[in-house]
Structure 1
Amino acid sequence: MLYNSPALASKVNTNIKYIKYFIWLYLVLLIFEGALRKWIAPQLSAPLLVIRDPLIIGIFLLAYKNNLFPKDIFTRSIILLGFVSFLGGLFTVITADSSLTVTLFGLRTNFLHLPLIFLIPKVFNIEDVKKIGWWLLVLAIPMTILMVIQFNSPSDAFINTVAGGEGKQIDSAMGKIRPPGTFSFITGAVQYFALVTSFVLYGLIQSKTYPTWLLTATGLSLVVAVVSSGSRSAIASIATVIISLFVAMLSRPQLAIKSYRLLVVIIIVSVGLRFVPSFNEAVEILDTRIDSANTAEARSGGPLGRFLASFSEPFQNLDAVPFLGHGLGMGTNAGSALIIGKAEFLLAEGEWARIILESGFLLGLLFIVWRIALMCWMGKVCVECAAKGNILPLLLFGSSALLILNGQFGQPTTLGFTVFGSGICLAACRTNIPKYAK
């Protein structure tokens, strides 16, 4: 952009700085809003659920004012789809049992945050992403300590309360809960440590941005956090990042030669784990949790069968789904709380099924296709970057790809990590993004 007036150019640059600060604040709130809802202000748990919404609206208004709001095909199409879906939701308000409040929440859930994916790379570059990575790596250490304390505490201890200050966290096995760290539930910790894994691998294999001591300490914390989590999703999320690393090495085989730092850190971490209190107990509990879950899901094909079923389930019994669905927002936990007074899955637990049942086959399918297209396009861009020597985007893509595909947007933390992770993924490869997406 060119500005004839130096004063105008200075004002725009200042506004860009504010946008960057607000995006940083978005990340801070994403990580710590669970702590606010559980421990600091549990009486405000419900409004804190959407604490990032006013912030993101302000970011968009400031971006629009300075001609920075994204105009790419993905942003334009999701805004159009959001508008049409809202009209469909209004129709269900008039003709069915939905409500305007629930419809507005559904609009916010499916569409409000998504343009931030394409705004972040307009104001951030790879150096900004590296700074974000540094803070995520540092924070992983106290986050793990907190999770270990939660793991070793009774399930009804204050530190293990849920949002609102009442109740306890999700059970794991052998009387232990799944420790969520600062997040409301374990899903937040899972998604956070997937991002951390991306930066650990990047620092060990390609970049010298982060000191070896930090990468070693974070690597040790990462293993302890995953084992203590009692979550199969934690293992799967780390695995997808590791798979993205293998793809990067296939795109640029010489990276394998630079893996010696990774091997050294793996050896140090393996030795260090022997001195971590209760680590062996955590391993035993995780094994028990995995065995019991696999046994319970044996008839449905195990974890893989359950995963694949989430993609086929939405297209069963379509003749029973109204053309415009049952109502935008009805499938979210917050929507059910507004309708029946308690949080549960009124329509379906799976994300694709929720989308179809809320918006109907046509609009729901269009939203699903949009998410598939975004994932495929981002994957292509990131592989191209890896082939040119920059593997950070592909590693970050590994942490967010499945969230883009079928992450549960009804969970604000999952929505936040999908948007933020995808945004910094694109920011890490900004110079390689096609012109229409700049």
Structure 2
Amino acid sequence: MKEYIGLLAPFAILFILYLSVQNWRNSIKTVLVLVVIEGVLRKWVLPQASQFIYFLKDIVLIGAYLRYYIFSSTEKNFRIKGNSAAETIASVILLLTGWCLLQVFNPSLGSAIIGIFGIRGYLLYIPLIWMLPNLFRSEEELYKFLRSYLLLVIPVGLLAVTQFFSPPSSPLNVYSADLKLDVATFGDGNSTNVRVTGTFSYIAGYAVYAIISFGLLVPLLAFQQSRWWRWATIAELLLIIGTSFMNGSRGLFYSEILFLIGYFGVQLLTNLKTSVPLIKQFTVPIITITVATITWFQSAINSLLFRINSNHDVSSRASGSFIEPFEFMKLKGLDSYGAGATHPAASVLRNILNLPPGETIPVFYESEMGRVVLEIGPIGFFLWYLLRLILIYLLWRTFLKLKRPLLRQLALSAFLIHALQFPNQLVFNHTLLVYYWFLAGFIFLLPRLEQIENWKQQQEFFNGPDTYRPHTSYR
């Protein structure tokens, strides 16, 4: 079977590229869906083609890039020149790109093929940030896409619940066979359950999906929706919170708490007058979700709390992720081991393609910050994290400038997610990479949508008072 897949792969790649080039907007939205269902395809539908499916969303994304940047000349309304924020980001990206390309040919890698694969996590998804301003043409279109996209939470969450109450040997828990039971399971001493992954291949993938969905659902809950969509949003939040306990990730648990503290704290600090009514809107949903979570997910809550109480290395791991890169800088000075040197797939590529071995890295690495230093050196480390800090700052500034409620809350959510994910895996987490650069595009998308809506309101106002709507809700 694998031999046939190898023969058909080139034709499949060309066919997928052809389809994705047809409509770049649909291709970007397809990539966001593929992020969610990729694990289903890899675990249950076509496990023999797991490696090909891993790159499927990249192929679709490249097709969208070809259409947008090369074959289309009429849809690019966003311009970098003249936009100070865009020019700043572009300057750092240009320097980072140049440096990463040098690291592709680092002699320590043994082969440039490893380097080409390695820069994928640094550079491949960045072009999304320039496409997003043209992806949605109105606030209503963005809102309707988000509410429809988040409906995926329901089947994904229900699958996760089923996994939690199924044994580790169940076909639903394929990943647990590849991990040690003490990693793939957890419990409160009385019972042991799997750490759920939903449709994702591994625990970390679902943890990313949960915090992203959580961060997008909270602003929608504050927005005036129809009764059906409001209750759908509450149900989705309930599933995300409940399955977050079932995932067993302490980082996810802390992130959701810090997100809520930041979300409501920033509202109170920046605009007390509007924050009080906003917080009141959350009273009934919070009570509903809290009671339902305690009632239906008590065993998952107990298991996670037991895991938290039995592990006391959280603070040391958090501080270690910031200390580690400076320790690793002593190994090679300004040099490094090359892009992709620490990627788990590097050894697989070497075996499959019979590539020469790279230089042995003489230290144990765990945090992403340390791995970035090992791969692209102190200069690359500085450029990479400078870019990420700039994005956080610009998302904050976007939040402060926006006036329309939904767009403003989405900007705040994107800012909080970027800030919370700063020390976490990004280069080596292909699930987060798509969402990270999608949310980064909010820096340019949300102000543009506000300009469009303000223009519409001006037209409505001048056309007659009966057509004027200061703010609107979408059904």
TM-score (norm: length of structure 1): 0.83
Output the CA distance in 2 between the equivalents of 1:162 and 1:426: 38
1:274 Cα deviation after fit: 5.5
Match of 1:413 in 2: 431
The structure 2 residue matched to 1:312, chosen from 308, 314, 323, is 323
Match of 1:249 in 2: 268
Output the CA distance in 1 between the equivalents of 2:334 and 2:449: 42
Output the CA distance in 2 between the equivalents of 1:32 and 1:120: 22
SS state at 2:385 partner: helix
The structure 2 residue matched to 1:334, chosen from 345, 363, 381, is 345
Match of 2:398 in 1: 381
Residues 1:103 and 2:115 aligned together: yes
- Show CA shifts across 1:264-287 (max 9, x none): 1122223334552xx221111111
Output the CA distance in 2 between the equivalents of 1:75 and 1:29: 28
The structure 1 residue matched to 2:332, chosen from 317, 321, 331, is 321
Please tell me the residue identity of whatever aligns with 1:418: Y
1:397 Cα deviation after fit: 2.5
Match of 2:162 in 1: 149
Please tell me the residue identity of whatever aligns with 2:396: G
1:314 and 1:352 in contact (8 A); partners too = yes
Output the CA distance in 1 between the equivalents of 2:259 and 2:288: 21
Residues 1:180 and 2:210 aligned together: no
Change (3 A) 1:116 1:205: same
Change (3 A) 1:334 1:411: farther
1:108 Cα deviation after fit: 1.1
1:31 Cα deviation after fit: 0.8
Q: Where do 1:30-429 residues align within 5 Å?
A: 30-65=35-70, 66-67=72-73, 68=76, 71=80, 72-73=86-87, 74-90=89-105, 92=106, 95-124=107-136, 125-162=138-175, 170-174=183-187, 175-208=192-225, 211-242=229-260, 243-253=262-272, 254-273=274-293, 275-276=295-296, 279-294=297-312, 297=313, 303-321=314-332, 323-339=334-350, 348-385=365-402, 390-403=408-421, 406-424=424-442, 426-429=444-447
2:115 and 2:340 in contact (8 A); partners too = yes
- Show CA shifts across 1:122-179 (max 9, x none): 322533331232124322222221111111111122111139x856784242332210
Match of 2:3 in 1: none
Please tell me the residue identity of whatever aligns with 2:160: M
1:339 Cα deviation after fit: 4.2
Output the CA distance in 2 between the equivalents of 1:375 and 1:395: 11
2:334 and 2:377 in contact (8 A); partners too = yes
Give 1 or 2 for the bigger CA radius of gyration: 2
1:37 and 1:45 in contact (8 A); partners too = yes
1:98 and 1:326 in contact (8 A); partners too = no
1:248 and 1:394 in contact (8 A); partners too = no
The answer for unaligned runs of 5 or more in structure 2 is 1-19, 81-85, 353-360, 452-475
Change (3 A) 1:355 1:190: same
Change (3 A) 1:88 1:239: same
Match of 2:454 in 1: none
1:290 Cα deviation after fit: 0.9
1:305 Cα deviation after fit: 3.6
1:340 Cα deviation after fit: 6.9
TM-score (norm: length of structure 2): 0.77
2:92 and 2:383 in contact (8 A); partners too = no
1:32 Cα deviation after fit: 0.8
1:322 Cα deviation after fit: 5.0
Output the CA distance in 1 between the equivalents of 2:108 and 2:443: 41
1:79 Cα deviation after fit: 4.0
Output the CA distance in 1 between the equivalents of 2:156 and 2:49: 23
SS state at 1:316 partner: helix
Which shifted more, 112-121 or 146-155?
112-121
The answer for unaligned runs of 5 or more in structure 1 is 1-14, 298-302, 434-438
1:261 Cα deviation after fit: 3.0
Query: What percent of counterpart residues are identical?
Result: 26
- CA RMSD in angstroms comes to 2.9
Output the CA distance in 2 between the equivalents of 1:168 and 1:207: 46
2:336 and 2:374 in contact (8 A); partners too = yes
Match of 1:4 in 2: none
Output the CA distance in 1 between the equivalents of 2:141 and 2:415: 17
2:154 and 2:239 in contact (8 A); partners too = yes
1:39 Cα deviation after fit: 1.1
- Show CA shifts across 1:330-377 (max 9, x none): 122222433478xxx986221111111111112222222222222222
Output the CA distance in 2 between the equivalents of 1:16 and 1:404: 33
Work out the number of aligned pairs and report it: 403
Change (3 A) 1:317 1:272: closer
Please tell me the residue identity of whatever aligns with 1:330: A
Output the CA distance in 2 between the equivalents of 1:383 and 1:312: 33
